[in-house]
Every structure is written in C-alpha cells, then in structure tokens.
Amino acid sequence: MDNGGWRGGRRRVSRGMLPLLALHAVNEYYRLPWKPPVTAGLLAANTLIYLRPSFLDSLLPSIDEVWFNPHLILKDKNMKRFFLSAFYHIGESHLVYNMMSLLWKGIQLETSMGSAEFASMVVALLGMSQGITLLLAKSLLLFFDYERAYYSEYAVGFSGVLFAMKVVLNSQSENYTNIHGLIVPARHAAWAELILIQMFVPGVSLLGHLGGILAGILYLKMKRSYSGSDPLTMIIRGLSDMLRWPLRFVRDMFRLRRRRISGRGTIGRSQTSNLSGVWRCQACTYDNSSWLRNCEMCGTSRSNSAGLSRQVSHDLPLEELRRRRVERFG
C-alpha cells in the first residue's frame, strides 16, 4: 500500500513493465496442470482498474474517490474508500510489483486450499487488513495525537492483503527465505520485509503493511479455533456451483447433440449392451444410438428388431449383410 503521491488522471499507456507481467503470468499458468481461477481474476481486476479501458472508464470511480483515508472513511462512513482502495495503484511499478507477488502467493495458496476457501480468505483478509489499519490510525490519533502522519494520510494498493497472505503462506514453514538479501526464517519474513521496505522505499504506508501482517495473524488464530468450513467459504462454494451448473448443462447438451447427429455404434456378438443410450440390432448385432429408429448397419426397424429372435440373425445371408454395409458406408 503506497501513500498518495499522484492524484486524478488516467493511466492507460504501459511503459514496458505490464507486457513483462503478462508474459510471466502466461508462462506460470501454462506450466500448471490446474489453473487457479481466483488468482487469475484478481490479477485481471487489478490490472483492468489500473488501465481503465474505455468500456470500463465510466463505471470505475476515479482514484480521488477511493483513496484510503482514515479521517474521510470515519467521517463520511465511506465504504467505497474502505474496500476499493486496495484495487487501485498509483503507478505501473507499484502495480507490477504487487501483481508479481500476488501471482506467486496466490498460485501456491489457491492450489493448496481450493478456490472457494482461497476466495473466502482473500475477502476476510481484505476486510481485516483495512479494518485494522483504520483502527491503528484512530488509536494513534487518540493516544498519541498522530493526526498528520497516519490519520490524514492517503494510500492505495493491494500490498496490505499481500502481507497478510505472506503470513498465512509461511505460517507452517520451517525453512529460511531471502528477503532483499537478508536470510531470515520464513515465518518471520513478513516482519523483515516490513522493516526493510519502510527503511529503503519512500512513500509506503507503514500502517497499511502492519495492518496486513496483523490481519494474517488474526486470520490464522480464528482458523485454528474454528473447525470445518467457515460460512463465507460455504457461500462462495455454493455460488460457484450455481454458476457452473448452466455451463455443465450447455456442455452436456452439445455432447448429446453430437451423439445424436453421428449415431455411430459398434458391432458385437452379445444380445445385450452395457452402454447407456444405445440399442443392439438383433439382425446384425450393431450397436446404434438410442436416437435412431432404424439400424444404421442393416436398416432393420428398432421395433421389429426387438421382436426378432436370434435365429433371424442367422437367416440373414452373409453376402446380403455385406452388401448392406457397403451401401451404408460406401
């Protein structure tokens, strides 16, 4: 989350970093056997909001309307600033750095958790990180009179959620990791990155990043104290099933349509078939689609075939059967 250093205007032209981000994302997803959809959706949403294409320009609020500012949020009860500020970025480097981090963390977490639980976690971390940041800013104002430094600052960016995701991702790790050249235990990586970024990167939001770390810790504590799927995960899973149902229905219809048109079957020797959606001609033992009324091999009617005995199939001359096959398939 970066402090306000740029206001208004539209960012539509890439300076070369966005194509590199797109190339990296495509390469990562190409090599994955399963493509995490929620991570891809978050990447697309953040990038489209930054680029503001013409078909979305009139729908998206300007960055001046969504800056995360504790004073304005509490004064106006402005939920737009509270939630949407995380999806806005003040520059291309700000966006690309956050999206590269989201790509790496999101793929690992969504693959291990599943899409529904991962989406639930992102929503929870977003709300908790923003809420904790707001609470910290208000507390500093009340107890230490830090109004100018934190309570009135403007900030945007997804990094608060990313810090929370880093805490969750590394919570069970016993390994060490490299944070800007510093080797630290992975479980403490978020704290090390918080300190290093604050020391060497100007204009970043200390409270935004700290709020993300505390949100990740709080999420893990709540997760451990609650067994089973949380209600938000169940809601998201139910909604995803509802959205998938029409797609499955259309897919099955197209499969049925293709099977009806082709009508191809197999030739067997048994009287019955274990395949669903087919009937076996008693005259020539050809398996036909259940949508066909006449045998595709010999032309025998399905109703007549059902009443024929096995003796009839033996009465049909072999040459006649061959001739009918030639007429059917050329």
Q: Which amino acid is at 182?
A: L
Q: Of 282, 269, 280, 273, which is closest to residue 310 (Cα–Cα)?
A: 282
Measured CA to CA, the distance from residue 13 to residue 53 in angstroms comes to 10
Report H helices in the chain: 17-30, 37-51, 54-57, 70-76, 79-84, 92-113, 115-144, 159-169, 189-200, 206-225, 231-262, 302-307, 310-315, 318-329
The answer to whether residues 182 and 196 touch, using CB atoms and an 8 Å cutoff, is yes
The answer to whether residues 249 and 197 touch, using CB atoms and an 8 Å cutoff, is no
Indicate the Cα dihedral angle 281, 286, 291, 293, nearest 10°: -40
Q: Of 138, 135, 151, 160, which is closest to residue 213 (Cα–Cα)?
A: 160
DSSP 9: S
| 116's tokens | 């529904």
Residues taking part in catalysis = 159, 209
| 266's tokens | 């197999």
| 124's tokens | 């929870």
When computed from its CA atoms, the radius of gyration of the chain, rounded to whole angstroms, is: 31
The answer to whether residues 106 and 29 touch, using CB atoms and an 8 Å cutoff, is no
| 67's tokens | 């800056």
